[in-house]
Amino acid sequence: MGSANCMTTTQSSTTIFEALRSDHETQRTLIDLLVDTTGDSDGRNELFDRLQRELEAHAGAEERYFYVPLMEVDLTQDAARHSVAEHKELDDFVEQLRDYDMSGSQWLQTARELRTRLLHHLDEEEAEVFPVAGKALSDDEKRDLAESYDKDMARRREES
Ligand SMILES: [Fe+2]
């Protein structure tokens, strides 16, 4: 029976969209918690550190295992370029936060701005990019990319 064979290969049925969505949720949680912190506190330092590492790892893995393949397809090329440009914008906000005094009002104001931009970016990816990417990628590609993305994320999280 073929099904017995399938059971032993432990092939994951997770798609790249589910893998990305799950990490987007982590980012939403972290940025929400971050803007609720005050001053140069341990909580703010810890959350900012975690968010920075998470954003950097995600942008790297997502570009490699989602946007690079999407750039090769006419249908998704523009959307992929747009999203990658937004990763750079988000990174600029993180850079600013690194430079500012964590206890100043400018820091929180910039963190709130980062939150607005980040939520917009994640919502746009999920609502606009995922549906069109769903048409551009085959079912096998959606699963293979999820596996590669998750492996790369695990490696990047360990290294950061
Ligand atoms: Fe993303």
- What structural domains and CATH numbers belong to the chain? 2-159 (1.20.120.520)
Centroid of ligand 1 to alpha carbon of 158 (angstroms)? 19
1 C-alpha to ligand 1 centroid (Å): 40
> In the predicted model, is pLDDT for residue 56 greater than 90?
yes
Residue 13: which pLDDT band, with cuts at 50, 70 and 90? confident
Is the pLDDT assigned to residue 8 strictly greater than 60? no
Mean pLDDT score of the chain: 93
Cα–chain center distance at 70: 16
Measured CA to CA, the distance from residue 160 to residue 154 in angstroms comes to: 10
Is 108 or 11 the better-scoring residue by pLDDT? Answer: 108
- Is residue 32 over pLDDT 50? yes
Global pTM exceeds 0.85: yes
CB-based contacts of 45: which residues, under 8 Å, 6+ apart? 102
Q: CA 112 from chain center: how many Å?
A: 18
Q: Quick one: pLDDT at residue 11?
A: 57
* Mean pLDDT on 84-96: 97
What's the pLDDT score for residue 58? 98
Is it the case that residue 12 has pLDDT exceeding 80?
Answer: no
Burial string for 61-95 (b: 16+ CB within 10 Å, else e) reads bbbebbbebbbeeeebeebbeebbebbeebeebbe
Query: What pLDDT is recorded for position 44?
Result: 98
Cα-to-centroid distance, 11 and ligand 1 (Å): 24
**Interval 46-68 mean pLDDT:** 98
- Using a pLDDT cut of 90, give the percent of the chain over it: 91
- How far is the C-alpha of 62 from the C-alpha of 148, rounded, in Å? 10
Tell me the CA–centroid distance for residue 58 and ligand 1, in Å: 7
Please give the distance, rounded to the nearest whole angstrom, from the Cα atom of residue 22 to the centre of ligand 1: 10
pLDDT of residue 150: 97
Give the residue-averaged pLDDT of 91-118: 97
